[in-house]
Structure 1
Amino acid sequence: MKVLVPVKRVIDYNVKVRVRADGSGVDLANVKMSMNPFDEIAVEEAIRLKEKGVATEVVVVSIGVKQAQETLRNALAMGADRAILIEATADVHTDIEPLAVAKLLAGVVKDEAPGLVLCGKQAIDNDMNATGQMLAALLGWSQATFASELAVEGDSATVTREVDGGLQRIKVKMPAI
């Protein structure tokens, strides 16, 4: 089974964000960028699935600027097998909206035919937590949000989710997000 992991390039979580002098947005000049920490967790889980023999290939994909190559290289260094970059903008100040990202990811999913897409819980730059759910809706796939544990068994996956009251265990049919 192939696992696809979308990864986003964000301002490093250790950097103090500065607003531009004109107040029009975040100042990105000379700012360290890195992989979204929640996406990094998803890449690690995909690699664990490969090490267990559940996954055969881990493919990471990033949508955004050319500089996202660095983020993809980090994922490859972690153990991902392949990386795909969709250069959707040349301007580092342009953030691609979640629905546009989900539509582009849907195209990648149709081409790559993964059995599982592991998305990070949310991006630390906009905290929207929308792309994974939109992708599931576009594809008509099962989804399990806020996953803290994953076990793949044949054509289904058991997911332990973090919910307000504690933990919830659900079973979803594969392919799933």
Structure 2
Amino acid sequence: MKKSLTYLLIICTIFLLTGCSTPEYIHDTSSYERQKELHSNRSGNVFIDVMAGVGSVFVGAMLDCEMEYIPSDQEFKKLKLINPTNDTLYVNMLTDLVWDNEDYCDFMDIRIPPKLHCKVMVPMHAAYNLYFSNTPQNDDDEMIQIYTTDVKKFTLYPGMTLEADTSSETVPEKEK
């Protein structure tokens, strides 16, 4: 019984550590540091919400009344970028949202290996322009705009914006 409990504890710890780790696919140092700041900021918000919930339960029990606790709005969420291709994808995420007083909340130089995914912590209610390509050059990047409140995971593959452009064109009528 003790052995299985120890193994269960080790497995849970590994899952927690890997689930909370910052993405190793971000190669820009300022973007990587910003990602770590977002993770720590989110962890602080979750801890405060849990403590406020527990405190409201205790106060409600001591005063023999019903305390209503409304958790604060979630400020951040994880966005999962999926690379289904056999090539490495190079992704830059740009927004007009300011993180600190001088820098935008952009994430540059994200390199997603083939057939893998990358989780990026992003602020809620933000619009991001995703520039991506399977080559490191910037001249062939495709751009798509996403809203962080609308998506949880997003699959990127080269040519996806080109397909959208050709489907919106009108097809000429056949000559009689």
Larger radius of gyration between Structure 1 and Structure 2: 2
- Give the strand-richer structure, 1 or 2: 1
- Give the helix-richer structure, 1 or 2: 2
Q: Same fold (TM over 0.5)?
A: no
TM-score, length basis structure 1: 0.29
